[in-house]
Amino acid sequence: MRRVVVTGLGAVSPHGIGVKAFWSGLAAGACAIRPLTVIESEGFRCRIAGEVPETVAGSARRTRADRFAIAATGEALEDAGLGVAERADAALVVGAVGGGMLEAEAWYWAATRGRRSVSLPAVRSVLPCAHADVLAARWGLRGPRHTVVTACSSGAVAVAEAAALIADGVVDVAVAGGVDAITRICFMGFNALKLLDPAPCRPFDRARRGMSIGEGAGFVVLEEAARARARGVRAYAELAGYGMTTDAYHITAPEPEGDGMVRAIRDALGQARETPPAVQYVNAHGTGTPQNDRVEARALERVFGEGAVLLSSTKSMIGHTMAAAGSLEAIATVLALTHGVVPPTANLETPDPEVRFDCVPRAPREALLDCAISNSFGFGGQNVTLLFRRR
Amino acid sequence: MEPKEVLDELKTILVSRLKFDPRRAAETTEATPLPKGVEGSIGLDSLDFIELSIAIEERFGLALDESEDLSAHFASFATLSRFIAEKMPAA
Amino acid sequence: MTGRARVVITGVGVVNAGIVGDSAALGAFLAAPRPAPGIAEGEIARVAASALSALIDPGDARRLSRVCQLSIAAAQLAVRESRLEPARGLGLVVGTEFGDLASTHVFADGFLERGPSGLSPLLFPNTVMNTMAATTAIAVGARELALTLNAPTVAGELAVARAVAAVATGQASAVLAGGVDEIGPVVEQQLPALGFADRFGEGAAFVVLESRAAAEARGATILGEVAAAAWRALPARPWGVGRQRRSRAITAVLEEAGVEAAHLGAVYVSASGDAARDAWEHAVLSAALGPQAPPAAALARLLGRHAGLGVLRVAAAAWTARSGLLPAAAEPVTAVTRVSSRAGLVHGLARGGAHVALVVRAA
């Protein structure tokens, strides 16, 4: 059986550029959700977000989201030490939602108001699939290439898809992850749905009122385990299992008993040939909406039993980074395993008694971790669980 | 505004915001229940109710307090038009 | 490869400007092909409103954007033909190039015209491309994976290829694979400025894919077998046409299917009027299939390019393998050529290099 290991990590997040900045922020329990600067927000109830705080260098021809993705994939490739020949055979799977919508919006806004601003090439990049072609060209990735759009779980789906390509023997190496830049449509839409907390989100808190949006890019290099060993590269962790299910219930609301979530978690455990007691830590989808957190906690209780795992939400610190969430949070999970530290749930003052788990409030927790899962539950009931195991 | 006028405006919202067929909207009466799952209702779900509340805020110049449980007011057109008529600023 | 299930087609659903129905409707069209309304005039080949309203319940239609209705209509036709019982184990893969851009425009316009209160919460979920898969999954009860794949030109073929992998490896016991695209007026206006030279259409097509063993066990009618499917990439600049002609995708599927290039009966190509891209595809196929390459059908000349057409090509290849007939492979475009009824190749190549190949056989 072909096993899949993680050999490279790359991140651009509201904590800054690079994996070091990302982990440093997470381990400190720092909340990076601040007043919006990248788009206008007057007239909206929520005016904050997790923005990438620095300018990511790159060509002006490339969209903001492209520049995030280029930086993150570049870091992951270098981290894994993949040379030209390996890159030429590597598969690429990208999870995306907004694509180049930020720039397309700027053009559309200006055009509607009778002004011309942004030039054409950026508008052509609006589709989510544009990232993959840009990344492949930039880094010489010439293996199988595809783009998945599964709303909030896109980044996690991308990682699972890449693992499947390796497990099936289609390729030995893959680059996978998700990317999203803040867009007006995303910001306005979540505001209109009344799903945003005007203050930084507080997942699993009794007083939680909604999510915070964020942006970034998280990419990993995955390799077939024996090949990685032969190559002498260190493996952060094994991606031992993944589950992908669909609620088929409602376009925005999760199925109330968390059936689809439960199946995704159990499928990941089953594929990894692990039982629930093997898992010590769950990196939650944990958006901070009253509904998600309640249903997710219910699903976790059904699978693991009350109090059986440590639970924390990365979104408490960086917001919901949309298509990047699943992969950035996968990276957070891998780093938690690597460092033996569970990043906390920031802003958690009064844990919700209905969430019957230790949600690691506000301060990081040292813990001996062998096995952890990362959940991503997207709009439209798209549920994904990734299971990582230390090597 | 009288509840009857409010009801007419709500029927307009059914068509313009909730995408109901105009004939279906015209057929509704004060007594028509709104939420899905109630017999004889027009079958609104949670997403419809969010759309409806924004439309009501816009059309009638109200601010609905999300922290309040307003579901009783959204039970039927009768309860909703009364609620809106009471909340509207005096002409 | 050992342990891989054989993958067969047990249902087809098509809703586009020229065809509405299941495999019988598709077959009737392919046997007597005509350019869809609009194509001859150089316009977008659009689906008639009456076709959709006949297929979607008005109560459901209220909450479904047009592109979601297209997807659900075709998916339900395919499921009905397959007589697959709704049960656990059904996956869904949907390929699209443009998603629901029409809803995105209306959503944005709401704000630009009336500020925050002009935003429609009902429309917002449609601004993410997975809306067609999400609504279709609810309509047909698909609870395993539900993937949306976005790609230029080859999204439909890619969706089928991905679905084949899912069935072959046992990820799902049956997968509904489809492609759907809608070209609304705003997108239509932008196409030339964005550099798209192709003939476009719109619509949806779905196939039900199952393992051969499962299909035979329940007595399903098998419409064809997808003997192999692969997606790879050829080097090219973003939106560019490349120069490399050696295709790993074609090599991989011929090898997996155990078919030599000389024994292919037909090729369904993705050519659609973009001269440079079409030429690249032709060069790649020539390099792979040699001087005895079989006749090639370019269905975009009849129905316009859209993700649904990519899936339709797979169903069409199965029909060709059964009937020995190939439309749109000669002049005039309405001519039907006789071919050997053996395996056929379905091929797609996009600007930027995304590349898909499938081998389809009669049952």
pLDDT in tens, A272-301: 999 999 999 999 999 999 999 999 999 999
Average pLDDT, chain C: 95
By Cβ distance, the residue of C124, C138, C238 closest to A137 is: C238
Predicted confidence at residue A123, as pLDDT, reads: 63
Q: How many CA atoms lie within 13 A of B25 on its CB side?
A: 17
pLDDT mean over A319-325: 98
CATH of the domain at B64: 1.10.1200.10
For range A337-344, the mean pLDDT: 98
Taking 3-state DSSP, the helix, strand and coil percentages for chain A, each rounded to the nearest 5, stand at 35, 25, 40
CATH code, residues A4-231? 3.40.47.10
Chain A residue with minimum CA distance to B45: A250
Give the residues across from C264 on adjacent strands: C343
C241 contacts C351 by C-beta, under 8 angstroms: yes
Query: Is A152 designated active site?
Result: yes
Q: Which residues of B touch C114 (CB under 8 A)?
A: 58
Domain assignment of residue B56, given as a range:
3-87
* CA neighbor of A280 nearest in space, from A358, A182, A172: A358
Q: What CATH code would you report for A242-385?
A: 3.40.47.10
> Which CATH number is C227-361's, of 3.30.420.40, 1.10.260.40, 3.40.710.10, 3.40.47.10?
3.40.47.10
Six-digit token string for A134: 């840009």
Q: Which of C339, C348, C359 is nearest to C259 (CA)?
A: C359
Question: Does B54 sit within 8 Å of C114, measured CB to CB?
Answer: no
β-pair partners for A9: A220
Q: Are A387 and A239 in contact (CB under 8 A)?
A: yes
Can you give the residue ranges of every domain in chain C?
7-217, 227-361
Residue B44, classed as helix, strand or coil, is strand
Q: Choose the catalytic residue: A31, A46, A152, A371.
A: A152
Q: Which of C357, C358, C338 is nearest to C265 (CA)?
A: C338
| CA gap C119, C229 in Å, rounded | 43
- pLDDT over 50 (residue C1): no
Does C143 contact A191 at a Cβ distance shorter than 8 Å?
A: no
Look at residue C75 in the predicted model and tell me its pLDDT: 98
- The Cα–Cα gap between C60 and A22 comes to 44
Judged by CB atoms closer than 8 Å, whether chains meet at B47 and A253 is answered as yes
Chain C residues whose C-beta sits inside 8 Å of any chain B C-beta = 58-59, 62-63, 114, 117-122, 125
Q: Which chains touch B (3 or more CB pairs under 8 A)?
A: A, C
CATH number, domain C7-217: 3.40.47.10
> Which candidate in A44, A190, A194, A292 is best for mutational testing of the B interface (most B CBs within 10 A)?
A194
pLDDT over 90, % of chain A: 90
Picking from A194, A251, A252, the nearest residue to B66 by CB comes out as A194
Contacts of A among chains (3+ CB pairs under 8 A): B, C
Of C359, C325, C347, the residue nearest C255 (C-alpha): C359
Q: Give the residue extent of every domain in chain A.
A: 4-231, 242-385
Q: Is the pLDDT of residue A184 over 90?
A: yes
| pLDDT above 90: residue B89 | no
Enter the tokens of residue C322: 């059964």
Residue C122 and residue B20: Cβ atoms within 8 Å? no
Tell me, yes or no, if A285 is annotated catalytic.
yes
Q: Evaluate the omega torsion of the peptide bond into residue C192 and state whether it is cis, within 30 degrees of 0.
A: no
Q: Do C148 and A149 touch (CB under 8 A)?
A: yes
Dig out the tokens for C283 from the structure. Answer: 């060069």
Give the CA distances from residue A106 to residues A101, A117, A185, C119, C256, in Å, rounded to whole numbers and listed in that order. 8, 8, 11, 18, 47
Residue A293 C-alpha, separation from nearest chain B C-alpha, in angstroms: 18
Name the pLDDT band for A118 (thresholds 50, 70, 90): low
Taking the C-alpha atoms of residue C349 and residue C157, their distance in angstroms, rounded to an integer, is 10
Distance CA C158, CA C1 (A): 21
Residue among A265, A267, A295 at smallest CA distance from A373: A265
Predicted confidence (pLDDT) at residue B1 exceeds the cutoff of 90: no
Kindly state the average pLDDT of the residues C249-264: 96
Q: Are A25 and A15 in contact (CB under 8 A)?
A: yes
The whole-number average pLDDT for the span B6-32 is 94
- ipTM over cut 0.90: yes
Mutual orientation of helices C248-257 and C275-289 as an angle, nearest 10°?
40
CB contact under 8 A, C353 and A247: no
Residue C47: C-alpha distances to residues A222, C38, C129 (Å): 43, 10, 20
Q: Is residue A321 pLDDT above 70, yes or no?
A: yes
Which chains have at least 3 CB atom pairs separated by less than 8 Å from chain C?
A, B
Written as one letter, the residue type at A345 is T
For residue C195, pLDDT over 80 is answered with no
Question: Which among C134, C144, C352 has the least Cβ separation from residue A133?
Answer: C352
- Say if A195 is an interface residue toward chain C (CB within 8 Å): no
pLDDT higher than 70, residue C197: yes
Asked if C116's CB is within 8 angstroms of A43's CB, the reply is: yes
Q: Residue range A375-379: average pLDDT?
A: 91
Q: What's the whole-number mean pLDDT along residues A25-31?
A: 98
* CA dihedral over C303, C307, C308, C314, signed as positive or negative: positive
> Quick check: B17 and C122 CB within 8 A?
yes
Residues of B in contact with A250 (CB under 8 A): 45-47
Q: Which residue, among B19, B59, B66, would best test binding to C if mutated, counting the most C CBs under 10 Å from its CB?
A: B19
B62-91 burial, b at 16+ Cβ within 10 Å, e below that, comes to eebeeeeeeeebbebbebbbbbbbeeeeee
Query: Which of B21, B43, B47 faces C121 most closely, judged by CB atoms?
Result: B47
B75 touches chain C (CB under 8 A): no
Residue C185 has pLDDT above 90, yes or no: no
Query: Hey, what are C333's tokens?
Result: 């475009």
Minimum mean pLDDT range among A376-385, C226-235, C353-362: A376-385
Mean pLDDT computed over A183-198? 96
Helix ranges (DSSP H) in C123-274: 131-140, 155-168, 185-190, 212-217, 248-257
Q: Give residues with Cβ within 8 angstroms of C113, minimum separation 6.
A: none
Pairwise CB contact (< 8 Å): C119 & A188: yes
What's the pLDDT score for residue A117? 63
Tally of domains within chain B: 1
Same fold, A4-231 and A242-385: yes
pLDDT in tens, C147-176: 999 999 999 999 999 999 999 999 999 999
Q: What is the pTM of this model?
A: 0.97
* 303-362 in chain A: CB under 8 A from chain C: none
Q: Are the beta carbons of C119 and B20 separated by less than 8 Å?
A: no
- Residues of B with Cβ-Cβ distance to A255 under 8 angstroms: none
Tell which wins on pLDDT, A18 or A252.
Answer: A18
